[in-house]
Amino acid sequence: MAHDRIHARKPTHDLERWSVGVIEGLEQRDGHGVFEVRTPEGERIELVVTLAIRDLVIRRLDLEDGDSPIGSQVWYRTRGG
């Protein structure tokens, strides 16, 4: 399975290849992490990543203990993007 790419912090390379969005939902499905992200245009997209990447992204968000990642900004690329 090809996975999407997601970063908690602004990438430092190939900026034109990355899009920005806001986390609207987060779930686990079929052994993968699924981020539901809203684009600046208001579109909702799903980003499917490994559980390790999901955990890494959440750890790198500027959250206090117990805070939800919902509403946090992320940078992403969809498969093949």
Residue-wise pLDDT tens digits, 29-49: 999 999 999 999 999 999 999
* Domain locations in the chain as residue ranges: 5-77
Please report the DSSP string for 10-23 in residue order: --SS-GGG-EEEEE
The pair of structure tokens assigned to 74 is 């992320």
pLDDT number for residue 8: 96
CATH class of 5-77: mainly beta
Distance CA 59, CA 55 (A): 6
Residue-wise pLDDT tens digits, 39-78: 999 999 999 999 999 999 999 998 988 899 999 999 999 8
- pTM higher than 0.85 for the full model? yes
